[in-house]
Structure 1
Amino acid sequence: MDYDRYDRVRAVQWHGDRLRLLDQRLLPQQEHWIDCRDAAAVTQAIRDLVVRGAPAIGIAAAWGVVLAARAGEPLEPALAMLRAARPTAVNLMWALDRMKARIAAGADAAALAREAQAIQDEDLAANRHMGELGASLIEPGAGVLTHCNTGSLATAGFGTALGVIRAGVASGRIARVYAGETRPWQQGARLTMYELVRDGIPAKLIADSAAAHLMRAGEVQWVIVGADRIAANGDTANKIGTYQLAIAARHHGVKFMVAAPSSTVDMATPDGEAIEIELRDPAELLSTAGRRTVVEGAEAWNPVFDVTPAELIDAIVTERGVIERPNAAAMQAMFGR
């Protein structure tokens, strides 16, 4: 695997006294970096989508704890503030729980920095392994469709679903790549296409509403997505629009893969009904790039995640292995404690 070619972006960077984040709200037009020097700035960056993607949010939050420790701030309030930044992605809570355990064990700022770096390094290694595992499920010559952004921008590097696609392209298994635009923040259009073009991977952008038509035309054999939380029965929360892709995929005989690190699995959440779905400002739907596009007086509903039932998922891929046709028993066998 030529990682120098297929893994070029690092959106979360620790610089010893500050956390530097690539502002993903401005891509691809601008590559602007924001320096966070305290936990409050990291929290705001997570809330405002400067940094997004479940693994990247968790990594950034871990570094936010380090910043609080270096400044001598009380750590419990900092942990609570970071935890409240976004509710759906379990990686945020998982990373903060790891940092909290190190604090309880008496770790100082230097030890907490080592833990945050370990979280970041482990994510990169997990993504690369997932890429190999996921790609091995795909028959050579396949077309794939992905949704939202699950690449290096959303993780420590390489990506989850996009990591599977990178590995599949590199091994010659994937012949065609399609990315949905992903309204309302256009993560597929702005971010996934940005990564694919940088890597030299030929890909085509489609309107979200073109997905079923594309499947009917026989152009894709797999839909490959990431996850923000995977429940104990295999139900999966991901970017809004994922559920309808899974329904369309099942109707058209297209397989559906979820690729996510084991930190995304929440065995304490029994099923998708128990996952809190984040609602964001309706103005995000009523405007494009900050400019109002909908008539004044119109209202909007803006959930940013939905839940895909386990029975619509053909494979869940984590660094621990692959679960085909996931259910509660299979999830317990791999992730139960």
Structure 2
Amino acid sequence: MLQAIKFNSENGTLEVIDQLLLPHLMKYIKINSVEDGWNVINKMQVRGAPCIAIVGALSLAVEIWKENVTDKKLFLSEIEGKLNYLISARPTAVNIKKESQTLLELGTELCNDNNCTPQEMKQKFIDRIVSMLEKDIADNKAIGKFGSESILAKCQALKSVNLLTHCNTGSLATAGYGTALGVVRAMQEAGRLNTIFLTETRPYNQGSRLTAFEMVHEKFNATLICDSSVAYLFQKKHIQAVVVGADRVALNGDTANKIGTYQIACLAKHHGVDFYVCAPLSSIDPTITSGDQIVIEERPEREMTYLNGSRIAAPGISVWNPAFDITPANLITGIITEKGVYEPKDLQSCFE
């Protein structure tokens, strides 16, 4: 599998693949500070909700790695400010916000523990961040298992299945294995995957640049299609399920994901194709009751009007470039998490 994040737990160094250069060049960027972490997230050199959270937190670990902490309250105030700064890099994905809250809760607990020295507080804080890498991979593998089993249970008469995915949800978007692509990977491991169809995912082309790169690298039977070919794909090919990721899921199941997801869900409903959202519980925001409350990030117009430095749109045209859209819960067959597959109406039980 590709390794999007390289973290050395012995010396506290961090490198990430510059995903803007893929598929033509695989180059790692060294992250030395929280500012570096913010920049690679904001510029989308790192993307994917789980990966954003991990890289953001690790950039903080790198910055404080050699810091001599003598005042616990001052240290807690410092990390709170840095975490809030990291959250501002991409507002839609909830993972980094939730991980920041967890880290601040740990910091507060350690700060109030009179038996914990300042340096011990720092080390325990770093250990918690590093553990995010292993947990993410374990969660992804569980998502892959539950998702594969759920889809195959409906396709027992078929020797193999065809799936469609949108955007990139594999090793490049996570610590490894993947969410929606984790389901695809589990299908492949079970010998039950026929073809994974993938959209180009305009305007940033995460499908044609990143997902296609992963699939070719790992020798999956994959086929790239234009975003505008989805309806015709459903009409002409036997697609058993759509699997996509999520940047934030509201408590009622409404899901924010890469722009274009909503229209695929509408088309899947029309053609009777099951539509699954694959996401760790960290992507579910229990404080938001519906998708109407999710803030949608709008990206610069240049991402639409230029390609490889050359303008492709008529000068003077106005541009609307939302990075995400909201898929209503009533279009979603199931939400696949590391704890199992839930119908949107049952999602609240995860937090009871």
Q: Normalising by the residue count of structure 2, what TM-score does the alignment of the two structures yield?
A: 0.90
How far, CA to CA, are the matches of 2:90 and 2:197 in structure 1?
28
Within 5 Å, give how 1:311-330 maps onto structure 2.
311-324=330-343, 326-327=344-345, 330=346
Q: Which is worse superposed, 287-296 or 254-263?
A: 287-296
How far, CA to CA, are the matches of 1:86 and 1:190 in structure 2?
21
C-alpha RMSD over aligned residues = 1.3
1:253-278 Cα distance to aligned partner (Å, 9 max, x none): 11101111010011101000000000
Seen in structure 2, the aligned counterparts of structure 1 residues 240 and 149 have a Cα distance that, compared at 3 Å, is same
Shift of 1:172: 2.4
Runs of 4+ in 1 over 4 A off after TM superposition: none
Query: Could you say what secondary structure the match of 2:142 adopts?
Result: helix
2:97 aligned with 1:93, yes or no? yes
Q: Which is worse superposed, 315-324 or 156-165?
A: 315-324
Partner residue in 2 for 1:121: 134
2:161 aligned with 1:142, yes or no? yes
Q: Which is worse superposed, 252-261 or 13-22?
A: 13-22
Query: Could you say what secondary structure the match of 1:159 adopts?
Result: coil
Partner residue in 2 for 1:4: none
User: Does the 8 Å CA contact 1:89/1:228 hold for their aligned counterparts?
Assistant: yes
Q: How many residues in Structure 1 have an aligned counterpart in Structure 2?
A: 326
Shift of 1:293: 1.1
Shift of 1:191: 0.4
2:108 aligned with 1:104, yes or no? yes
Q: Which is worse superposed, 184-193 or 93-102?
A: 93-102
Query: Could you say what secondary structure the match of 2:275 adopts?
Result: strand
Shift of 1:110: 2.2
Q: Which of residues 321, 327, 331 is equivalent to 1:308?
A: 327
Equivalent residue letter for 1:70: W
2:38 aligned with 1:43, yes or no? yes
Q: Which of residues 58, 78, 90 is equivalent to 1:63?
A: 58
Query: Could you say what secondary structure the match of 2:172 adopts?
Result: helix
Partner residue in 2 for 1:216: 235
Q: Which of residues 166, 170, 193 is equivalent to 1:151?
A: 170
User: Does the 8 Å CA contact 1:135/1:173 hold for their aligned counterparts?
Assistant: no
What stretches of structure 2 of length at least 5 have no aligned partner? Answer: 68-74, 111-119
Shift of 1:71: 5.5
1:276-295 Cα distance to aligned partner (Å, 9 max, x none): 00001011111112321112
Within 5 Å, give how 1:179-328 maps onto structure 2.
179-324=198-343, 326-327=344-345
How far, CA to CA, are the matches of 1:109 and 1:30 in structure 2?
37
How far, CA to CA, are the matches of 1:71 and 1:186 in structure 2?
39
User: Does the 8 Å CA contact 1:256/1:313 hold for their aligned counterparts?
Assistant: yes
Q: Normalising by the residue count of structure 1, what TM-score does the alignment of the two structures yield?
A: 0.94
2:351 aligned with 1:336, yes or no? yes
Shift of 1:103: 1.9
User: Does the 8 Å CA contact 1:145/1:177 hold for their aligned counterparts?
Assistant: yes
Q: Which of residues 15, 23, 32 is equivalent to 2:27?
A: 32
Within 5 Å, give how 1:14-33 maps onto structure 2.
14-15=7-8, 16-33=11-28
Query: Could you say what secondary structure the match of 1:152 adopts?
Result: coil
User: Does the 8 Å CA contact 2:150/2:341 hold for their aligned counterparts?
Assistant: no
Q: Give aligned-pair identity as a percent.
A: 41
Equivalent residue letter for 1:331: L
